[in-house]
Amino acid sequence: MELEDYESLLKNLLPRGPAWDGEDPLLLGLAPSLHRVHQRGDDLMIEIDPRTTQELIDRYERLTGLPDACAPDGAQTLAQRQQRLDAKINIMGGISKDFYLAQLYALGYEGATITQFETDVFRCTSTCMDSLYSDEWRFWWQVNMPNTTQVTTMTCMSSCTESLKAWGDTVAECVINKLCPSHTYVTFNYPE
């Protein structure tokens, strides 16, 4: 609503008669305040959504226990914080393949897939082309990441305790490992 709309709304609330005709300085003074309150309410409606929040993100993070152990080292951008907050708040729980794909999608991995090995057990009725997985593989599943990640190699400037080569997305791996059932094992497959 515009400022003029508030002025006309306030005028329409007054009783009819010659005493209220013309411009009333009180009404003209209240209209800008009501307009600002309405705009502020609209701004707060945007803050309700964790994907778009800016002012309330610190409060949301405190309420949800973020940043947690899955947060990457260093400063995160506002978009990364919003993405992680959305993944924590808005995704319904579960232990299905769809639940984990929804978590990966909320973290920004739209093309991720999950491979389950429970149906690939080799039996005496299996063909020669079937996989050779034993019964233990039913507890394993694999997250296939959609794109390559940054590969970090050790240089002469690196400290002695650094890895020779490191790769992977620690945030996605941490979130999935934290949410996976305790009796299962997750591996992550990164394309070359």
**135 — pLDDT class (breaks 50, 70, 90):** low
Look up residue 70 and give its amino acid: C
pLDDT above 90 as % of the chain: 14
Strand partners, 140: 185
* Domain ranges within the chain, ordered by starting residue: 3-47, 50-90, 93-189
Of the listed ranges 51-55, 148-152, 156-160, the one predicted with least confidence: 148-152
Other CB atoms within a 10 A radius of the CB of residue 135 amount to 10
pLDDT for 54 equals 92
Q: Which residue has the tokens 């080569």?
A: 165
Look up residue 165 and give its amino acid: K
As a whole number of angstroms, the distance between CA 169 and CA 180 comes to: 16
Q: H or E segment at 144?
A: strand 140-144
Q: Which of 117, 143, 141, 144 is nearest to 131 (CA)?
A: 117
**148 — pLDDT class (breaks 50, 70, 90):** low
**31 — pLDDT class (breaks 50, 70, 90):** confident
Backbone angle region of 185, left / alpha / beta, with phi > 0 → left and psi within -120 to 50 → alpha: beta
Q: Strand 140-144 to strand 113-116: parallel, antiparallel, or no bridges (unpaired)? A: antiparallel
| pLDDT > 90? residue 59 | yes
Q: How many CA atoms lie within 13 A of 17 on its CB side?
A: 3
pLDDT tens for each residue of 82-116: 888 888 887 777 778 888 998 888 888 888 999 88
> Where do the DSSP E strands lie in the chain?
113-116, 140-144, 152-153, 165-166, 185-189
My answer on whether omega of the bond before 72 falls inside 30° of 0, hence cis, is: no
Mean pLDDT for all residues in the chain:
81
* Joined tokens for residue 76: 């995160």
Of 4-13, 18-27, 30-39, 146-155, where does the model show the most confidence?
A: 30-39
pLDDT for 121 equals 58
Q: Which pTM was predicted?
A: 0.58
